[in-house]
Structure 1
Amino acid sequence: MKLGMLTACLPNLSLAQIAAWADEAGYEALEVAAWPVTGGRDFEAAHLPVADFGTQQADETRELFERHRLQLSALAYYENNLHPDAGRREEIHTHLKKVIDTAALLDVPYVGTFVGRDWTQPVAHSLREAEKIFPELVEYAGERGVRVIIENCVMEGWHPDGYPGNLAYSPELWEWMFSLGLYLNWDPSHLTWIGVDPVKTIAPYADRIVHAQAKDAEILPGAIDRYGVFGKAVGRDDPWDNGWWRYRVPGRGQVDWNAVVDALYENGFTGTLSVEHEDPVWSGTEGKVKTGLEIAHRTLRPLIVA
C-alpha cells in the first residue's frame, strides 16, 4: 500500500510544484487532477494538459515523478457522465476519453470519474442510461490497458433537492456498476455520513477496490436532530451545505482509520490510499491546505507499512 494525495486541492500550483512538495512532505504517490483547463467549479484542477498530451509530455511527466520518487496512481476527472444536457454530456465523454488516452501514454492503470445522474428523471432512468453509455467507455479504456474507477461520492450538490447525484453511493449500486465493468475508488467518508459502516464494505468488494481515497467526515453534534438525514431544506444557499456533517482531513472526523487500514491490508489491498482534501477548516489558502495535508499524513503514515 502507498500513501498518496489527490492534487485537486492545489489547483493554482503546477504539477511540478506539487510533486516537489509531496516528496518533501513524505507522500509516495499522486492521484493527478485532469479537468479541462477552462475548469468551472472551484475544486477543478488541470494538472495535465490531456487535450493535446503527447509522447514528449509523457516523457517529461515520467521524469518528474522519477525525480521525486513518486508513483502516478490514477488520473482524476470526476464529472457527471449522465448529465441531462446532451451537449454537456458529450463534452464530458470526449474529455474523459482524452484522460484515458493520457493514462495509457503514462502507463497509469486507473482513471477516476463518477457515474453521475440525470437529476431531472427517476433513478431507474439513469440506471438504464448508464447501461447504454458505460460499456463503450469501459471498452475504450480496456483497449488501452486502463480501468475506469468510480468514487462512491453521493454528490448531493448536483441534485436540486440535495438527493444523490452520483449513482454509486451504496454497495447495492456498486454491485450494479460492477456488472458494467467498472471498479471502485473507495472512500469511507461518504459511507460514514449515509449510515453505512465503511469497514464492513471492504471484504465483500475487495476484488473491485483497486484504489482508495482517504477523506474523513465529521458529524456535527445534534444537528441531524434539526435537519434529518437529507439535510437543510430551507435556506440552503450552498447546495453542498447539508447542515449536520462536513468533510475533514483524516483524523479530524469519525472514520476509524486504524480499522480501515487494517481491513484493507487483511483483504489484500496493494493500491494507493490517496488523501482527498476537502476540509473547510484547512482551506482558503495554499498554506492551510498544505497544513491539512500534513495532518492527514501524520494520521495515516504510522498505519501504513513502509
Structure 2
Amino acid sequence: MKVGLITNSLTWAGMKDLKQISEWAYENGFRDLEVGPTVELDEKIFSDIKAEGKIDISALIYCRNFLDEENDIGKEHKEQLIKRIEFAGKLGIEKVICSTGVTKDAYYGARFNPEKSVEAVTIWLKELMEHAEKHNVKIAIENCPMMGNIAISPYMWEVLFDKVDSDKLGLAYDPSHMIWQFMNPYENILKYRDKIFHFHGKDTEVLYNNLSKVGILHNITEETKFFEHQWWRHRLVGLGDIDWNKIIANLYEIGYEGTISIEHEDPVWEGSLDKVEQGLIRAKNHVQRFIEG
C-alpha cells in the first residue's frame, strides 16, 4: 500500500499548479495523486509528472449529479466525465472516481429513497462502462451521499453491481461516510474485497452532545454555516471515530495493494495553505505508521 492525496484541498487553498502539487507531495512523503476537477487536464504536465517517476497519478476524480435534468447540467457533467475517461486511458491513469447521479424523484420531504433512481442510474452506468472498457479504465464509485449519488450503502452496492456486471466497475471506498450514516466501516472491507479499487483516507467525528439536541435531520448548509448545531464533521485521519489500525489490518487481509488517498475536508485544519499542508502531512503520518508497522 502507498499513501497519496486528493488535490482538492490544496487547490482550494491556492496551490493550483499540478507540477507544484506533485513536487510538494513527493517532498512530504506522498507517493500518489488523485487529481480533482479544478486541475486542468494538461496532457504534457500529466505526462511529465508520470515520466519523472517520483510520484504516480493513479486516479482522476469527478463527482457530480450526472442525472440532473435542469438546463442540461447533467449532460454537461457526463461529457466532462467521459472526457476524463478518455484522458486517463490515453495517459495510462488506472482509475476514474465518480458518483452515480441521482434523479429528483428520489427526494421527498426530509426523506431520501435511492432505489427510485436505480433504473436511470443503471442505464447511465452501462453507457459509462462502455467508455471505460473501451479505454481500459476502471470506474470507482465513491460512497459519498453528496454530489448526486445512490451508491451510498452496502445494500445499494449490491443492487448496482447486480445490474451492471463489469470487472471495471468497483468502489472508491470512503469509511468516513459510513460513520455518520451509522454503518460498519470495517466488515464491509472484507465483504467487498474484490470491488475495492481505491481507498479514501478521511475520518468523521460524531458530536454526540449536538446529536442529542438536534437529531440526525438537522444539517448545516453552506449559506448558514450553523456549526454550533452540526452533529458530525469530517476530520483528518486519526482525529475522528475511525480505528485506522483496524482499517489497515483489514486492507492487508484482503490483499489491497493500492493507494490510501488522503482527502482533507477537516474544518479545523483549513483557513490557510499552511494549515492545509500541515493537515495533509498529519493525516499521512497517522496512516503510514500502521502501514509500516
Fold similarity call, TM over 0.5? yes
* Aligned with residue 120 of structure 2, among 117, 129, 135: 129
* Aligned with residue 25 of structure 2, among 22, 35, 57: 22
Contact 1:199 1:259 in 2 (8 A): yes
1:46 aligned to 2:39?
A: yes
1:273 aligned to 2:260?
A: yes
* Aligned with residue 154 of structure 1, among 142, 145, 148: 145
Match of 1:204 in 2: 191
Contact 2:49 2:56 in 1 (8 A): no
After TM superposition, give the deviation of residue 178 of structure 1 in Å.
Answer: 1.9
Match of 2:161 in 1: 178
After TM superposition, give the deviation of residue 221 of structure 1 in Å.
Answer: 3.3
Contact 1:84 1:120 in 2 (8 A): no
TM-score between the two structures when normalised by the length of structure 2: 0.89
Q: Specify the SS of the correspondent of 1:230.
A: coil
TM-score between the two structures when normalised by the length of structure 1: 0.85
Q: Specify the SS of the correspondent of 1:18.
A: helix
Match of 1:32 in 2: 35
Provide closer, same or farther for how the CA distance between residues 74 and 225 of structure 1 changes in structure 2, counting only shifts above 3 A: same
Deviation per CA, 1:229-271: give whole Å up to 9, x if none: 2234999835999710100110110110000011001011111
Q: Which has the higher helix share?
A: 2
Q: Percent identity?
A: 35
Contact 1:32 1:47 in 2 (8 A): no
Supply the RMSD in Å over aligned alpha carbons. 2.3
Q: Where does structure 2 lack aligned partners over 5 or more consecutive residues?
A: 108-113
Q: Specify the SS of the correspondent of 2:205.
A: strand
Contact 1:218 1:252 in 2 (8 A): yes
Deviation per CA, 1:99-150: give whole Å up to 9, x if none: 0011011111110110131234453431111111110111111110001111
Task: Tell me how far apart the structure 2 counterparts of residues 70 and 107 of structure 1 sit (CA, whole Å).
Answer: 14
Match of 2:60 in 1: 75
Task: Tell me how far apart the structure 2 counterparts of residues 28 and 234 of structure 1 sit (CA, whole Å).
Answer: 34
Task: Tell me how far apart the structure 2 counterparts of residues 169 and 142 of structure 1 sit (CA, whole Å).
Answer: 24
1:1-306 matched pairs, under 5 angstroms:
1-11=1-11, 12-13=14-15, 14-33=17-36, 35=37, 45-49=38-42, 53=43, 57=44, 60-67=45-52, 69-85=54-70, 87-121=72-106, 123-155=114-146, 165-179=148-162, 180=164, 181=166, 182-232=169-219, 237-238=224-225, 243-305=230-292
Deviation per CA, 1:135-185: give whole Å up to 9, x if none: 011111111000111110011xx6xxxxxx421110001112223243100
Task: Tell me how far apart the structure 1 counterparts of residues 64 and 129 of structure 2 sit (CA, whole Å).
Answer: 16
